[in-house]
Amino acid sequence: MVREENGVFPAVCPLDCPDTCGLLLHKEDGKIVKVTGNPAHPVTKGAICNKVRNMTERIYHPERILYPLRRTGAKGEGKFERMTWDEAIGEIAGRFTELIRDYGSESIMPYSFYGNMGALSVDGMDRRFFHRIGSTRLDQGICNAAGNVGWKYTMGFMGGKSPEETAKAKLFIVWGQNTISTNMHAWSIMEKARKQGAKLVVIDVHRNRTGDRADWFIPLHPGTDTALALGLMHVLFDRGLVNEEFLEKYTIGHQELREHVKQYTPDKVAAITGVPAGDIVKLAKMYGETSPAFIQIGNGLQHHDNGGMNIRTIVCLPALTGQWLVEGGGAIKANGDYSKFNGAALERSDLRANPDARIVSMNQLGEALLSLDPPIRGMFVYCANPAVVAPDTDKVERGLLREDLFTVVHDLFMTDTAKYADIILPATSTFENTDVYRSYWHHYIQLQEPVIPPQGESKSNMEVFKLLAQAMGFTEEAFQDTEEDMIRQALDHPANPHIEHITLDGLKEHRFLKLNMEYQSRYFTAPPTPSGKIELYSQRMAEAGLPPLPTYVPLVEGYDGERRPGTGSRYPLMFISPPNHSFLNSTFANVEKLAALEKEPTLQIHPEDAMARGISDGDAVLVWNDRGQFEVTAAITDKMLPGTVVSQGLWWEQDGKRHRANALTPERLADMGNGATFFSTVVEVKRQRKCLPNR
């Protein structure tokens, strides 16, 4: 039931961000006029980012889609006419039914990610529907898949330390994360600890906002983190800075590792990484001699060919020093496994008639749409914007342009992807829905109940898939469940003791409830790996054809062993395209206020690389490789080592101009988890036009 009265109402930030903030929505005359942080939330404590402080601009944006639309122009042209919900649901159900009859159920594919993190929005009725159809399945490896698999090879479980505890650390190593922009409450904790004397080291290929504020910024060549970690291990063993008792009691493979890392001398590692040998020794000593020492691992370094190995290797470090058992020490990459809901009950994969239906990696959408045999003929996109965020977007576009592909997009806006749709359905915002949220960083479960009514004729994901199920004649009870039924089912999960006490009634009363963390320490002393120990040597990796000990494997494309990036290639520069501060993936790129803060898409290029190409600051430059190209403005900076260029932010098409970083990125899969390899890309750059004088 929507709250009609004015006042201040609790809410949850639905975005794909580790912080999952508690919010307060301030309502006047039935409208949300202000979004602030909820000071009662124990971790996010009333602070929120500027993006969500401006959330009303998004919720009430004049371009929000409010009615179902049918395409009238060519695909991609963006011409549509209004249609009714009855017509839209009837047409989609009709087309899907025909496709299944003529080509089989695998001719249909969902494409979704976490534009809204609510369990009911992306892991609920939608999954039931596609299972029931028996569609092609989507392997959702675009974000953290490689790193999660890598972490689990070592630790068995996707969970690290608790955020609150890290306040005790005396040393923070931020490894491949732009914490200020992408995990701001972790940054608050670090800042507080630094006031008590803690030191901050940032290891990144680019001196991002966080690196700018570090005590020590260590730049390195992309995709060489495993080598750096092995160099640190070399020094830790060599100088007796390891915790022998911890190694003996809680790990397997430490003798093999000790021998193995002898080859990774500081000099050898310096040649690979670009980090001077003296700095490698200094960092290893700092890490080995400071306690508590905490490592914050981001997503950046796993978007590489060797991304899984990077994470698998870095999480071995706290085992070498025994920091897993020190309060405030250890590491976090993500804490998602602590808060797992009952996925089987939510998704109901038992409804699937064809459990062996084919699986498509979302990182290879272009290839799937163009080459899969038998072809995908119907695609339903929701909570995602693949025309911008997927690798090799030119290829994705060619797929979306296929006349024989029936595409439905459910979104709040005419995204770049929606322009290729045959039918667009208007989505509610989370503030119009009931849903339940967990965090992949902190330990609180939160409930969202509607604060405003659905805008226009928009409908939630849950409603849409219920309507479609009904129209297709699916009579199973699973399609009758209400939001509250499904929240109860999600929380009833005896396999996860951390949520055993959490109920819908409890959430209604308290808004957020903490996980039971009394079992946490067992993941560091008796982890759920095959050996029951932290696996420095992993038999499972050997069986999967991977090196069983942490091993530096050079990138397929780009940094070539011990030589400079791209040697011998026509494309001598490594291209990194991480998120910017004011967008959330591509969400908010159409909110004028936030886009204005980011000004324009830029290519950050080192003075040496710019000079070699006659490029001045502010010039329009063309960045290209065999996959595609895009034009951006050059920003000359020494924030990277020579040989690396950086373009932050995933931008929408504007006034017919595209700035799609992903035109350049590969569909290749990472070493583990079928993860994405966005940052393992080489390019060349040339000047297009001189900087305009009035710029």
Ligand X SMILES: Nc1nc2c(c(=O)[nH]1)N[C@H]1C(S)=C(S)[C@@H](COP(=O)(O)OP(=O)(O)OC[C@H]3O[C@@H](n4cnc5c(=O)[nH]c(N)nc54)[C@H](O)[C@@H]3O)O[C@H]1N2
Give, in degrees to the nearest 5, the angle at Cα 413 between 411 and 415.
Answer: 90
User: Which one among 396, 584, 621, 682 touches ligand SF4, defined by CB under 6 A?
Assistant: 584
Site for ligand X in 117-176 (CB under 6 A): 121, 142-143, 175-176
Write each residue from 166 to 205 as x if it is in contact with ligand X (CB under 6 A), else as -, in one continuous string.
---------xxxx--xx--------------------xxx
13 binds, among Mo ion, ligand X, ligand SF4, none (CB under 5 to 8 A by kind): ligand SF4
Is residue 361 near ligand X by the rule CB under 6 A? Answer: no
Is residue 273 near ligand X by the rule CB under 6 A? Answer: no
Write each residue from 112 to 151 as x if it is in contact with Mo ion (CB under 5 A), else as -, in one continuous string.
-------------------------------x--------
9 binds, among ligand X, Mo ion, ligand SF4, none (CB under 5 to 8 A by kind): none
How remote is the C-alpha of 112 from its chain's centroid? 13
Integer Cα distance of 573 and 153 in angstroms: 32
Least spacing, CB of residue 66 vs ligand SF4, in Å: 24
383 conformational bin, left if phi > 0, alpha if psi -120 to 50, beta if neither: left
Least spacing, CB of residue 441 vs Mo ion, in Å: 13
Least spacing, CB of residue 594 vs ligand SF4, in Å: 12
User: Which one among 661, 663, 669, 685 touches ligand X, defined by CB under 6 A?
Assistant: 661
Is residue 685 near ligand SF4 by the rule CB under 6 A? Answer: no
Is residue 415 near ligand X by the rule CB under 6 A? Answer: yes
CA distances from 1 to 23, 35, 450, 460, 493 (A): 19, 20, 7, 14, 27
Q: How deeply is 356 buried, as exposed, middle or buried, from its count of CB atoms within 10 A (0-12, 13-18, 19+)?
A: exposed
The answer to whether 129 and 465 have CB atoms below 8 angstroms apart is yes
Integer Cα distance of 656 and 298 in angstroms: 34
Integer Cα distance of 278 and 221 in angstroms: 17
Least spacing, CB of residue 336 vs ligand SF4, in Å: 15
Integer Cα distance of 490 and 147 in angstroms: 26
Least spacing, CB of residue 332 vs ligand SF4, in Å: 16
Integer Cα distance of 489 and 261 in angstroms: 48
Give the residue with the Cβ less far from ligand X, 441 or 537: 441
Helix H or strand E segment including 330:
strand 330-332
Integer Cα distance of 232 and 321 in angstroms: 11
Q: In the 8-state DSSP scheme, what is residue 662?
A: G
* Piece of 2-10, 96-104, 297-305, 608-616 that binds ligand X (CB under 6 A): 297-305
* Piece of 47-55, 144-152, 474-482, 658-666 that binds ligand SF4 (CB under 6 A): 47-55
Give the SS3 label for residue 593: helix
User: Which one among 9, 96, 114, 129 touches ligand X, defined by CB under 6 A?
Assistant: 114
Least spacing, CB of residue 501 vs ligand SF4, in Å: 24
* Piece of 17-25, 122-130, 230-238, 655-663 that binds ligand SF4 (CB under 6 A): 17-25
Give the SS3 label for residue 476: coil
The answer to whether 136 and 109 have CB atoms below 8 angstroms apart is yes
Integer Cα distance of 179 and 182 in angstroms: 5
* Piece of 71-79, 299-307, 345-353, 617-625 that binds ligand X (CB under 6 A): 299-307
Is residue 345 near ligand X by the rule CB under 6 A? Answer: no
Is residue 17 near ligand SF4 by the rule CB under 6 A? Answer: yes
Integer Cα distance of 269 and 551 in angstroms: 12
Chain residues binding ligand SF4 by CB under 6 A are 13, 15, 17, 19-21, 48-49, 51-52, 184, 584
